[in-house]
Amino acid sequence: MAKNLKLKSARASKDMSQKALAEAVGVTRQTMNAIENGDYNPSLKLCISICKVLNKTLDELFWEDYLDE
Amino acid sequence: MAKNLKLKSARASKDMSQKALAEAVGVTRQTMNAIENGDYNPSLKLCISICKVLNKTLDELFWEDYLDE
DNA sequence: CACGAAAGTAAAGTATTCTTTATATTTAGT
DNA sequence: ACTAAATATAAAGAATACTTTACTTTCGTG
């Protein structure tokens, strides 16, 4: 899968580390890292949690970035 | 989790059965049924596949319907 | 350079999505 | 009422998201 640069950018704009974001949504740092690097396919619930923390919508963070398998 | 009525409605407006939609996105009929009834938490990839078939975006089908656990 | 914080990666285990098979119930058409 | 298609539900197994632990790399700062 492709890297999720929109997520990376949204996180950066909140000045949060992967660890901080991971803790805010209740997953591990490694899980956040894997999602950001496209190493796997998160659940909808987790995507929504991330959106809420970063004040974004699903379309803004997760649409069109996961198109290429 | 809550039922996803937006999904149900979008599917209905395309006149597709759960089975037809399931086949179009490559999952089983039971999986589609479970998602529609909120019995579990689909992967992002599957959500996006569903959106493409129904010509909707993530926000239109999956935002605000999965808020309550 | 040296130190610490942030990020990348990997491997084994657990939890949950998704499949398969099967049965029951609802809905629409005749 | 009868039939067929659609929907609901369940249980066991397979695939994969996610955790835990651990080690390495990168990058900014003293």
In order of start, what are the domains of chain A with their CATH numbers? 5-64 (1.10.260.40)
A68 interface with B at CB cutoff 8 Å: no
* pLDDT one-digit tens code per residue, B11-69: 999 999 999 999 999 999 999 999 999 998 999 999 999 999 999 999 999 997 444 43
What pTM did the predictor assign? 0.90
pLDDT digits (tens, 9 = 90+) for A7-66: 999 999 999 999 999 999 999 999 999 999 999 899 999 999 999 999 999 999 999 744
Smallest Cα–Cα separation from B37: which of B7, B67, B68, B69? Answer: B7
Closest nucleotide to the alpha carbon of A41, via C1': D17
Chain D nucleotides reached by a protein CB under 7 Å? 5-11, 16-22
DSSP states along A4-65: -HHHHHHHHHTT--HHHHHHHHTS-HHHHHHHHTTSS--BHHHHHHHHHHHT--HHHHHSSS
